Amino acid sequence: MASAPLKSLALLFLSIAPVFSSPILPLGVDAILPRQGPGACRNQSCEVATIAGSTGATNYPYKTYPMGYTMDGNCCIVRYFPAVKQPIYNAIAGQQAYCASHGGDAPADANPPGVNQVTTTYNPAPAKRDPAAAAAAAATTCKPKILIFAKGTGEPFDLGITVGPMLQAGLNATEWDVRGVSYDNSFANDYCLGLPGGVTARGVLHKAVSDCPNSIIAMSGYSQGAMVIRNAIARAPASDVAHVKNVVNFGDPFDGAAIGQYSGPRTVYCMTDDGVCGGNFAVSLAHLSYGQDISAAIAVLEATKK
Ligand SMILES: *[C@@H]1O[C@H](CO)[C@@H](O)[C@H](O)[C@H]1NC(C)=O
Ligand SMILES: *[C@@H]1O[C@H](CO)[C@@H](O)[C@H](O)[C@H]1NC(C)=O
């Protein structure tokens, strides 16, 4: 678990990350999926992906991991994904009592806590509109492709300051509408495995599908944002997921884990020495050097097919 001073240091690094993102400074070795076969994970990345409920798996082999967990983070996880409550309580001494005295573990609303359910209120019903008017509006305002991007922990602005703006700058602006996910990207929500942001991103996806039903959608995230994108897809209405045609993540704590409800193309840029990609939130210089992958990622995104 990172200490408070370490976290501040990481935040400082994050704010000067563009310096380290220069393509002339290759600081790590990329491992792009499928490098160990589809679905491969390093260390505890698949385990944390499963605990978040983002893989579509139905058993939760919670050990004394994840390394780097926090008691508060675990209480947050069980509020968003009650199916993991008992495995977490069984594995960690004192966790249940801790949650009882720190905000409880009840889901935020009364939605049925199904396997892939995030229980926070979300209304997937599209806004009622005259279909002809909506089609006319879409024809004039929608670009053929939409990228939904979720920034990393602590990054300011809609698209963050590292990966997001570089993707936007590199994509063909005539074809691509780049939409950032403005979610609560605090460190605390890293330890909640990006679940709060996943709810926000699910809404951004739904709005994109409602606004522009004829556009194809790609989704991308960096660091906590990578978890956010995965959680959103795994919990979105299937009719929204059907519009998602590509997923490209960077520094992804869930590394090669599967994404529930999604079987389309996906690419994960993860440095071999990036501990975040091992699912333990250890921020090193490698985690801040994905600028060198941007041009490859842009080519992958530009090739997104209907
Ligand atoms: C961007 O896309 C438009 C529309 O498809 C195309 O005409 C144009 O050549 C593209 N620009 C570049 C630089 O590829
Ligand atoms: C995986 O764990 C090993 C052993 O603890 C460590 O050396 C390595 O850096 C970790 N890799 C990642 C990507 O976290």
Q: What is the per-residue pLDDT across 254-276, written as a single tens digit (0 to 9) for each?
A: 999 999 999 999 999 998 888 89
Distance (Å) from CA 275 to ligand 2 centroid: 6
- Phi first, then psi: give them for residue 255, nearest 5 degrees: 45, -115
At residue 285, the pLDDT reads 85
DSSP E strand boundaries for the chain: 30-32, 145-150, 176-180, 216-222, 244-250, 266-271
Q: 196, 245, 240: which is closest to 216 by C-alpha?
A: 245
Distance (Å) from CA 299 to ligand 2 centroid: 29
pLDDT digits (tens, 9 = 90+) for 93-151: 999 999 999 988 887 543 433 334 444 444 444 444 566 766 666 666 899 999 999 99
Ligand 2: atom nearest CA of 270 is 13
Atom 1 of ligand 2 has which residue's CA nearest to it? 43
At residue 124, the pLDDT reads 45
Is 31 touching ligand 2 by the criterion CB < 6 Å?
no
Active-site residues: which are they? 223, 274, 287
What is the C-alpha to C-alpha distance for residues 12 and 117, in angstroms, rounded to an integer? 35
Is 43 touching ligand 2 by the criterion CB < 6 Å?
yes
The answer to whether 298 and 29 have CB atoms below 8 angstroms apart is: no
At residue 172, the pLDDT reads 98
Task: Show the low-confidence residues of the chain (pLDDT under 70).
Answer: 1-28, 31, 33-39, 64-67, 108-131, 133-140
What is the C-alpha to C-alpha distance for residues 253 and 279, in angstroms, rounded to an integer? 4
Distance (Å) from CA 291 to ligand 1 centroid: 23
At residue 177, the pLDDT reads 97
Residues in contact with ligand 1 by the CB-under-6-Å rule are 172, 174-175
- Write down the H helix ranges in 4-144: 4-15, 17-20, 45-51, 71-80, 85-91, 95-100, 131-141
Distance (Å) from CA 170 to ligand 1 centroid: 12
* Residue 195 exposure: Cα atoms within 13 Å on the Cβ side: 30
At residue 272, the pLDDT reads 84
Q: Which ligand is nearest to the CA of 171?
A: 1
Ligand 1: atom nearest CA of 172 is 1
Is 277 touching ligand 2 by the criterion CB < 6 Å?
yes
